[in-house]
Amino acid sequence: EPKIQVKAPPNPTFSYSGGGYCVLQKAILDTEAGSFQAQMQRQIFGPCGMKSSFFSTALTPQEEQRIAFGYKDNGKPLRAEYHVYPQMAAAGLWTTPSDLVGVLTHIQQSMDTNTPEPLLNQENFDRMLTRPVLEDGTQGSYGLGFYVLNQPPDSDQLHSFHHFGNNQGFSSYMGADVEGTFALAIMCNRNSVTLDPLRRELMRQILEIIDSTEQM
């Protein structure tokens, strides 16, 4: 693997950085006791009820029985069935749509000051879902980890947060609004699948159900 190098100081422009998550993982390991998996279990998986999520660079036979094997763009299976990423924080999570929705709903609940033991305190919630102002005066698209959508787009009114994911053999999406109206996760065991049309259709149906329920 190539070394992670700093290409620019913070805030002149936006650039998605998988390497940045490797640095973050190293910082966590340097400041907290235990393995990365143990820390994620204690701080995220456990509190969010994510019983089918884990980080591993060497899957056990029992873990292999629980995963879906990956497929290439042409629909053929990966030669080794799945790719192992040593960059755990950036690309090494094994999970399910239900578990992803679990963490989304806990983030939503963190906005409510009446929530007992929220996943995020108010300061960290705001930091995670605030789009930074760049040096040229424009706003970046991402907060800390999520693509952040404001409504109206040019306002500071937070509407929803989203993230797409693509690894060798897998594609995924998760997103939720801050009002707690919806939380959605989609996963597919094939390379580079365009999930946005499916996401839009599911959102349309979800909003129709919500609208019809409110009119009852």
| 37-94 per-position pLDDT tens digit | 999 999 999 999 999 999 998 999 999 999 999 999 999 999 999 999 999 999 999 9
Q: Are 89 and 207 in contact (CB under 8 A)?
A: no
Instruction: Find the length of the chain.
Output: 216
HSE-CB of 92 using CA atoms within 13 angstroms: 19
Fold adopted by 18-52+68-214: Beta-lactamase (3.40.710)
Q: What are the extents of the domains in the chain? A: 18-52+68-214
Sign of CA dihedral 109, 110, 112, 114: positive
Is the predicted pLDDT of residue 154 greater than 80, yes or no? no
Q: Among 152, 13, 174, which residue's Cα sits nearest to residue 93?
A: 174
Can you list the alpha helix ranges (DSSP code H) found in the chain?
Answer: 18-31, 36-40, 61-64, 88-91, 97-110, 122-128, 196-214
- Confidence at 211, pLDDT banded by 50, 70, 90: confident
pTM beyond 0.75: the answer is yes
